[in-house]
Structure 1
């Protein structure tokens, strides 16, 4: 193996599912212990203003892996998990088109090993699966969620869709009945690191925790006797994931790869307020995470739906102990890592490298960030200002209260003084509202948002 190739850095992306901004110790939680993530944050930079490119999972993951806005990737909505029957007329759920280049497919020509262990949720059809998008090795599930012990996909039972087992190693269905999925993912990721190679690697670890259903081993639940039962299981799920992060970091150090590895940690979207949890075959309330001071939830373009607890670590390249309030988003991961690796990124990216932000203290490269979800919700952030149109409120499905003096459900917040988006300043700033609305419309038109 070429000595220059060995100098290329590794990339580890650890992605969680429906994690609340306030559910980590390093982001202010006083009820959930996350010592490994706290240590990871201390070793690099903790971003306070980092965003998902969508308030739901599939589009967020598409942007993370491609560096592009969700609509440009062809994945702008949550994808179903339908698997076609052999010889049947139904088709498996399509997803990320093969024309879209991912971090994995872009790094392979540069000599990188690529592996993914965890939740995919970017298509069930064979041409959309991880191995078709540049991953040499895949272990995990394809749909949106599974039972943590049986690995069965139950979602859709209310439409008379039969439960489906959904656990794969590459293109082969595999069975690990009774094994806790979070621990399985950690085991596979650590094994990949332990196997070693002269090649640099990209390791993608999208945990499904703490997404419903609420399942956790008793050993983790017992860590939180002081919490009420609902919160206790959520905390246990997060602790299992945190232990996984610790095991991955430990494996990197043991393999001598830690100093040459950029680690990125975040969540696909904010905490859920859905009511889907399977207990004895019945649906039960799902007790989601904590968004702290932020307004909204998963599925909302208010801050709680899109502002994510984010950590970036790269020993020797990123100074430790940093806290950054510079704006960043998931589609920045690809160009940032390529910048560190000295690889020219594709020209069609929407994301921007934040390398100088974390190494030289430069301001965010973003003048504006945009969001769209479910056709009606739109948002834009420009500096301290955030404009939301038809943002979903804190209840499950309702929109924010409408101001009869405004032509649309428009909410303008100064995030510096009001990060919780409690006060609507739209009436006091009509020119700014007009400008941001025009920018939103121009962006939506360009992306053919409908």
Structure 2
């Protein structure tokens, strides 16, 4: 049997409710919905972090962010540290199995030479290294802060800077992805398609905006940007079909974290609060460990082989590395992973049980076990004070996390709090021993 190709598609700051297959009723995403109609749609998939760099590091390494060496949003200057090349990625593992590997789009895991994609298992890289760009000029936004004294252009082919001024970034990522598939159609490949949309700045060609003339302006731009991504997913599927590769390709789709409440639409860094994304029924946004910051839209599909279903058990993005490696004939036991393999789901078998799942973000720590979730110092949004010292939720009966059960279930609270603190202490030790001295924070 031929080794399956693997494609991971990641969106940026897309909320749980920002797909029609996840409940959106004001716009449609037919191509992404098509993945769900031919695969597993997760109702309780989590990112490993409520912000982008740690979330991406965890997905690619199968480790919690602190164990991967990336715990916060990374800097975007050209000396910025990030994902150390001593930490294996999915790309590293698949290269050992004979795969050609490529990333098209957003990296945001460091700009130093040993932190770039080509040093972390990727044969090919077309995209940008920092956190967010102007969608047309490809100027790094935070490089234009401080009165515009430090503009940084950020578009690359491997280690070569390239200029495509005026090219809409979402469409470029799609075109580069289709080109990669076309060129490597005769060999097993791993392709990581990392869209920047719908992360701010809220830029979109008029042709996409025209699809949604009746939506409020903030929601209209969000829908248009996601629609451009959805078209891209359709183009990728069409290219796979054209070469007879669709049924031998595992496709995984997810957002990196929950929707943002902020928008910087101007190169001077002016910030506007923005509410175009939706978390559905969940509390919190990006930066928060409440469900809205970490529960994400996610789909795992292999056309013609994976039966359509909705999986309600909780899983986390660290599970994708071992799942893919398992499916491609590798051995997850060779790697130091925090995730578990979901291969039984791809085989249409019963989903495995995960056990405890953990998160951290600055002073916040959280864990989930079964239907219960405990949070320490949780914030509903960035720059807000914690809503409680400790918060215990029953997600089965209160998915919006409105009622704190600390006083009602003290034994469960104490057990989960101790688990969370023990895990966090281990993360801090790993961090100090292996990563802290070489790390630079902030955007």
- TM class by shorter chain equals over 0.9
The structure 1 residue matched to 2:319, chosen from 332, 335, 343, is: 332
Distance 1:80 1:281, change over 3 A: closer
The structure 1 residue matched to 2:53, chosen from 50, 58, 66, is: 58
Q: Which residue of 2 aligns with 1:274?
A: 262
Residue 275 of structure 1: CA displacement?
3.9
TM-score by length of 1: 0.92
The structure 2 residue matched to 1:170, chosen from 158, 182, 204, is: 158
Q: Which residue of 2 aligns with 1:295?
A: 283
Residue 158 of structure 1: CA displacement?
3.9
Q: Which residue of 1 aligns with 2:109?
A: 122
Query: CA separation in 2, counterparts of 1:41 and 1:74?
Result: 32
Aligned partners of 1:154 and 1:162 also within 8 Å: no
**SS where residue 142 of structure 2 aligns?**
coil
Query: CA separation in 2, counterparts of 1:172 and 1:432?
Result: 54
Residue 134 of structure 1: CA displacement?
1.1
Q: Which residue of 2 aligns with 1:228?
A: 216
Q: Which residue of 1 aligns with 2:34?
A: 39
1:392 counterpart = 2:372: no
Q: Which residue of 1 aligns with 2:438?
A: none
- Segments of 5+ residues of structure 2 without an aligned counterpart are 432-443
TM-score by length of 2: 0.93
Query: CA separation in 1, counterparts of 2:412 and 2:180?
Result: 51
Q: Deviations over 1:269-290 (max 9, x none)?
A: 0000124221787444444410
Q: Deviations over 1:91-132 (max 9, x none)?
A: x00110010111111111211011110000000111110011
Q: Which residue of 1 aligns with 2:118?
A: 131
Query: CA separation in 2, counterparts of 1:279 and 1:122?
Result: 22
Q: Which residue of 1 aligns with 2:140?
A: 153
The structure 1 residue matched to 2:369, chosen from 373, 378, 382, is: 382
Q: Which residue of 1 aligns with 2:434?
A: none
Query: CA separation in 1, counterparts of 2:145 and 2:154?
Result: 19
Q: Which residue of 2 aligns with 1:21?
A: 16
Aligned partners of 2:406 and 2:413 also within 8 Å: yes
Aligned partners of 1:116 and 1:205 also within 8 Å: yes
Residue 146 of structure 1: CA displacement?
0.3
Q: Which residue of 1 aligns with 2:419?
A: 439
Aligned partners of 1:328 and 1:364 also within 8 Å: no
Residue 347 of structure 1: CA displacement?
3.6
Q: Deviations over 1:354-382 (max 9, x none)?
A: 111443442443111000001x1010000
Q: Which residue of 2 aligns with 1:246?
A: 234
1:317 counterpart = 2:301: no
Moved more, 222-231 or 349-358: 349-358
Q: Which residue of 2 aligns with 1:365?
A: 353
Query: CA separation in 2, counterparts of 1:178 and 1:32?
Result: 27
Q: Deviations over 1:260-312 (max 9, x none)?
A: 01000001100001242217874444444100100000000000000000001
Aligned partners of 2:372 and 2:394 also within 8 Å: yes
1:304 counterpart = 2:304: no
Query: CA separation in 2, counterparts of 1:393 and 1:283?
Result: 19
Q: Which residue of 2 aligns with 1:30?
A: 25
The structure 2 residue matched to 1:77, chosen from 50, 60, 72, is: 72
Q: How does 1:153-232 map to 2 (within 5 A)?
A: 153-159=140-146, 162-232=150-220
Query: CA separation in 2, counterparts of 1:28 and 1:326?
Result: 18
Query: CA separation in 1, counterparts of 2:146 and 2:89?
Result: 33
* Matched positions, count: 428
Distance 1:430 1:281, change over 3 A: closer
